[in-house]
Structure 1
Amino acid sequence: MSKKGVLKRRFPLLLTLLVFGYAFLYGPILSLIVYSFNESRLVTVWAGFSTRWYGELLQNDQLLSAAWLSVKIAATTASGAVILGTLAAMALVRFRRFRGRASLQVMVTAPLVMPEVIIGLSLLLLFVAMQETIGWPSGRGQTTITIAHMTFAMAYVTVIVQSRLAHMDRSLEEAALDLGARPVKVFFTITLPLIAPALMAGWLLAFTLSLDDLVVASFVSGPGATTLPMVVYSSVRLGVSPEINALATIVVLLVSVAVLVAGVLLYRQEKRAQMEMQLTQANNQATK
């Protein structure tokens, strides 16, 4: 039997598995969105369409303040993780041999496999010891949460950027250096645009990890800093509120828009980079 015939026979099975897979992943999210427009306070009993809980959400200062705090922490964490992760990736890829390279590689990959409970507890002990020794940080709050999130988020960014740098063609950088450009200018004008898709992907991943974290934040936060996952977790222990469904629906909408915009920008950046690469190769061949 030909390969086309085999694929045709397997298509119903593959389609069924695909439908069940997507239903398993996105069915609960779709149910949450539907019940956010429920009139009843009971999230499992449909009582008619209503946008009542979105109005109630706008009056819930606790949820809104926690959401705003989480967004600020996530944005700061993602930006710092991209900077530190890019520097670590550059050191691991461009400098093959230096003292401490193995230790740096281990420290970068350790947060990827280490349980969050261990990370949170170790950072809590570190912050307590620093406060007793040098007086900083004075209490636990937004600063300690940001530092803790940046600690494990930069590991993910490093892996993404390292992979991009390892497979990047260095001929453009070498040509610029041969023409007299300084290494710093080469980095900002050539290397940085080429690894921009990886930086954007790392930023989005770090932002999501920080926004979603509950375990580490529970260890390193104080009474004056409560993130959104902590508020949601404490709320659902007493029963799911329709306001939580409304908030989750807004978050899903914002994340979907952000992923769509990022995907479009990454696609355009990749196409532009490919066109510039082809143009450069054509010019090199014409010169030869």
Structure 2
Amino acid sequence: MATKEDKPLIVVKRIKKVAGGHHGGAWKIAYADFVTAMMAFFLLMWLLASVSKEDLKGISEYFKMPIEKIVSTGPSASGSSGIFVGGGKDLTRKDGEVSKADDNSDKAPQRMLDEEGLKQLKARVESAIEANPQLQSFKKQVLIDITEDGLRIQIVDNLKRPMFALSDDELQPYARDIMKAVGKSLNGVENKLTLSGHTDAHPFPNKEKSYSNWELSADRANAARRELVNGGMDETKLMQVTGLSSAVLYDKTDPLNPINRRISIIVMNKKAQERIERNASIEAGNADAVQKGIQASAPGIKPVAKPDVKP
């Protein structure tokens, strides 16, 4: 017969669960990582908001570039002598060595702008005028648009604020400032320029007719050219400077409108530039043919020597 001592002893353990117990502090590390990631995210957003669209496009193109091109030798897009495009100094270069890229280190790299590049140049010119407090009140007199020949910048007259003295080619001080601001903005690109002066249909007050709106518009175009150069524009960028009198009116409905008195600058696209270069070559060829014809018909006549005059 089993006794009381022979029965098995049953022990029941009850574990009391407490919510939010100790986790060893791993949550602190996770939280620190989260805060760091958020800080990096907001820093990235701030950088994207503060960088211009041109710089963002350049960064995007950089990462699209093949690695072979990035590490290849030669001048970089930024003009630096670095082994990487846009980077610092070339660590592989020793003292006394000069890379070919350093030969033109004082010159900004130039490239022919396409339609998209001309739009960016348009924004740059507008920003240059907007950033100058002295020119902000005159920005309505600067008309900028894209034409089939390229980027056109027109500085137009205002009835209360003329660009030139009456019947004269002397630029007013504010017009000089505009020309200088525009001239600085046109460097750094390979595109060539044309510049033309325009008048309204008012006849020039000259009874002898020895000086007309044709001469006046040409003189005003040259006055504008001089101010563009004084502003820092490379004079070799100009391919054509013309005076068109009132032949090409801005406001065709009102030939006497002051807006017709203007200076027009065109930053030419590749097609327009090639057309002018082709026409210049044809004219040069015709001049040579005429000279040869004169020599053939009159062998005793010597060809006219070109004057040795610096531009």
TM-score range, shorter chain: under 0.3
Query: Which structure has the larger Rg over C-alpha atoms?
Result: 2
| Greater helix fraction, Structure 1 or Structure 2 | 1
TM-score, reference length from structure 1: 0.23
Bigger share in strand: 2
